[in-house]
A = this chain, B = another copy of it.
Amino acid sequence: MATLGLIEYAQAGPEVRAVYDEIMAVRKADWINNFWKALAHDPVSLRRTWESIKQVMVPGELDHLTKQMIYIAVSATNQCGYCIASHTAAARKAGMTDAMFAELMAVVGMANETNRLASGYQVEIDDAFKK
């Protein structure tokens, strides 16, 4: 339960419904996940966040699946349970196999490890990386 509760389609005003409709159309889905239903308490943020997500996640130089895996990498690093669950589902829908997920996790794990070795050992940036 979100603190403010979730706004279902039936209760939603026209601004919120317009975003919900668009989300379902883009995702070829017939339901809205809780994230948007919570954010719908603030229709302006709902609209802005959806527009940003749509712009950012569209296939470009990076394909949609790669972008979903990057989303998982960030979410696992931040320990965001909701985002890990929702973006893992989205990545699977976009074609992520178990083997790809395993490799993704292995890289995320190592990066989190060596990030702390680099900071703990107080390693200075090599001049070659500053060019």
- In the bound complex, do residue B41 and residue A122 qualify as a contact, i.e. CB atoms below 8 Å apart? no
CB atoms of A123 and B38 under 8 A apart: yes
| Residue count of chain A within 8 Å CB distance of chain B | 80
Give Cα distance in the complex from A39 to B107, angstroms.
14
Are the C-beta atoms of B83 and A114 separated by less than 8 Å? yes
A65 to B95, CA, bound (A): 19
* Binary contact track A1-42/B, C-beta < 8 Å → 1, others 0: 111100000000000000000000000000101110011011
A126:B4 contact, CB within 8 angstroms:
no
A42-58, CB < 8 A from B: 42, 44-45, 48-49, 52-53, 55-57
Q: Which residues of B contact A129 (CB under 8 A)?
A: 33, 85-86, 88-89
Q: Let me know if A73 and B76 touch, CB within 8 A.
A: no
